[in-house]
Structures are given as C-alpha cells and as structure tokens.
A = this chain, B = another copy of it.
C-alpha cells in the first residue's frame, strides 16, 4: 500500500488490519479447497481440543487468548456441525466440558495435510523476505506486554513537552507568580503560616539577599513552576530546597523534576555539601519526586513549619 508510505508508522494499526484481513480471507478459501467443513476462526479452538482432552470454555478461551463469549459462540457453531460435544461436569455444575466428537477427530486427521501445505507456503514466503514477520510480531507482543503503546506515547509526550520547558533565574517580574503558585498548593492542602508570608511576600530580602536562589520554569514564556534554594545557618546543612510549586495546569511535563534537577545543579555549582528539605507525607507525588531526585529521609530536626512531618536530605558529591 502506497498510502502507508505517506502516513508513516502512525497508521501501523490500519496496516496490520488490512494484512490480517487479506490473510484470513484466503484461509477460508483454503479450507474449502481441501473440502474441510471448517471456518478459519474455529481453528484455535479446534487446535486445543485436537489432543483429545475435555476442556472448559474458559480454559480454552484463556489458552487461545480470546474472550470466553467468543469461544462460547464458536463452540455453539462447531456443535451444530457435529464436531464437538458438551457435557456438564458432575463435580462442578458450572463447568461445560467440551471435547471433539468422532467426526471432529476424523477431520483432525484429514486436516493435517492441509496444515503442512499452508505451513510450507508460509515458510516459502518468509524465505523470500529479509524481515521476519513472525519474529517481529513476537517481539512486538513482548514489548507491548512490558509497557503498553499508550504509556510509551505518554512518555514520548512528556519528553517532548519537557523540551519546551526552560528553567531560568528569578527576576522581579516573577515575584507575583512565585507567591501565587505557592499559595495555590499551600492553601489547598494546609494553611498559610507566618514563615510562608515572610518568604513569599519578600523573596528578595528573605531569600536572595541571604545567599539563596530562586529558579523559575517557563512554558511558552509563562512561569508555571518555581523553586527556591535557601541558605541555611546550620553546621550540618548548607542549603534548603523549599517553596517548590508547579501549576496544576502544567502537569505531565516533568516540570517538578526539571526544577529539582536545576536546583541540585545550582547547589553543586555553589559548592554545597548537601541539600535539606521539609515536606508532608500527604503530598505523595512530591515525596516520590524527592525520592527520584535522590533525597533520603532524616529525623530529629526542629522546624518552624507546622505542616512538616518529614525531613529529607541529599548529600552532594564533593
């Protein structure tokens, strides 16, 4: 199909569907050719029964990877043709035990030649290709089981969006954003405390002039995330990471992660030995972000914030 060269691989599904259709179409004719009164769609069911054992509907469904109603329907059709029999399991009244009839088993022997012929034909085609369709499908099945296409697309999306985010140093014009973004989440989860007002209303005086830094994440030139690195007056810790806030509207762009990385880089460039932070365990995404950034829990420090119930630190390489 010329068409698929234009669309590119986004039309993978469509292309697969068409190839599928072409092949199953021929399959039906092949059964007719060999004078076997069977439909291609019965094949998987027929195959698992061909060893002669009784099986339940759901067991068959699971084995061939169909839904159970699909198997149920197929069994109904095969029964009408006299290929299978059903009988209730005495031990378990829910189970419907299905097995091939004598006629079914007879068809099974007759069908063998057909199967070898089809196999030879398919192998002959495969031999003419440089790319192995069968193995490629196996690989795709495996990879999609590891991680769905959907979640891979989400990942690609995030990565691309993250590329549109730039982290810049604080400027006076971001003052209102710095306050607003923080107030948004603090008010939502807790209540504003005195220490909050102090640093949010006057960041220049209370953070920057004291040797701290503020970074701003811009998305389309719009400030959507902020984070501060506050100089600490403490023998154990050099800097505190605090006042991190990301707009809920800008979620899914890894902005928190990017800000965190930038803050760590900033601290490192300032020669810090470590970074300290305070948070609350009800902020689950935040805690997991801190973990991802490498912070580890520590205990036993005093804090001016009521909402703090967890403290973490990140030692930096010297």
Interface set of A (CB-CB < 8 Å, partner B): 1, 3-4, 6-20, 22-24, 26-27, 29-30, 33-34, 40, 43-44, 47-48, 63-65, 113-126, 128-141, 143-144, 148-150, 152-157, 159-160
Contacts and interface: CB of A to CB of B under 8 A. Distances in A.
A14 B63 CA distance: 13
A13 B64 CA distance: 13
B134 A152 contact: no
A137 B132 CA distance: 9
Given A65-B3, A132-B131, A148 B26 contact: yes
Contact of A63 (B3, B20, B47, B129): B3
A219 to B, nearest CB: 14
Chain A at the B interface: SS class = helix
22 contacts: A9-B119, A9-B122, A11-B47, A12-B122, A12-B133, A13-B27, A13-B40, A14-B43, A16-B137, A17-B20, A17-B24, A20-B20, A22-B144, A30-B149, A33-B153, A118-B156, A124-B156, A129-B136, A129-B139, A131-B132, A131-B133, A131-B136
A-B pairs with lowest CB-CB distance, top 4: A131-B136, A133-B136, A121-B152, A120-B156
Contact of A156 (B4, B121, B143): B121
A29 to B, nearest CB: 5
A167 B50 CA distance: 36
A1 B125 contact: no
Contacts of A139: 128-131, 133
A256 to B, nearest CB: 20
Contacts of A6: 47
Contacts of A134: 9, 12, 15
A290 to B, nearest CB: 27
